[in-house]
Amino acid sequence: MVEDGAVDSSLDLSQYDDEQVRLMGEQCILLDENDRAIGAASKKHCHLMTSIDSGTLHRAFSVFLFNSRNELLLQQRADEKITFPACYTNTCCSHPLACASELEERGQMGVRRAAQRKLEHELGIKPEQVPLDAFTYLTRIHYLAASDGMWGEHEIDYILFIKADVDLSPNPNEVQSIKYVSMDELKHMIATADETGTKLTPWFKLIDENFLYKWWAQLDSLEGAADHETIHRLL
């Protein structure tokens, strides 16, 4: 366990949403650069640029959920979010917690459980609609990105694909809008993002630029696409 530093504990978060501040107390999994768990620290500590600049790195996941028409579900993050508010991103992006069930690395079970938990929390998707064994784990990326002068991300991010028709009931404290897009629609959305003022999360842009379309094109036969050994350094 890593104790939050003096700067963390004295930080005034009163300008932020109460629920999002509460979630900043969750314990994330600290890592070395080879994705070995080395401890735990609060979500707040992990996302402060002062911590990131000193090397703090944590585990995360990004879920890409496709319906039976092979359309990708996007979400726009709520304005209440402390990091990257109002940005469009992939279906669900979050962190496994430093608890026994989500620390389990065999078969990526901890990450899978965290993904199932957060799909329900953010989008109201029931666990039975997204079984743990229905997720395809593709690879990991290591990236760093600032949200503003205070907050940012420094993660080893597990990329999970899943194809399922699901019932949605978004949590407005997490998600302000959702939409399904085809591959062509997403390419147009990203190509015109600057002129339309559409904000995108940095991890979503990195995955889009480096991996997404080749995986999407073989969505029904992903067995040969997975690379479980490499941590792609997109820094």
Please identify every residue annotated as catalytic: 93, 155
Residue in 212, 206, 211, 201 with CA at minimum distance from that of residue 235 = 206
Residue in 140, 129, 91, 135 with CA at minimum distance from that of residue 113 = 135
Taking the C-alpha atoms of residue 216 and residue 22, their distance in angstroms, rounded to an integer, is: 36
Burial class (CB in 10 A: 0-12, 13-18, 19+), 57: buried
Taking the C-alpha atoms of residue 60 and residue 185, their distance in angstroms, rounded to an integer, is: 27
> What is the amino acid identity at position 90?
N
Asked if residue 119 lies in contact with residue 112, where contact means CB atoms within 8 angstroms, the answer is no
Helices then strands, each counted (H, E), the chain: 10, 10
> What is the amino acid identity at position 117?
R
Asked if residue 59 lies in contact with residue 96, where contact means CB atoms within 8 angstroms, the answer is yes
Which two three-digit tokens encode residue 71?
């359309």
Taking the C-alpha atoms of residue 166 and residue 126, their distance in angstroms, rounded to an integer, is: 8
Residue that has been written with the tokens 């792609």 in this structure: 232
Rg (CA), the chain: 17
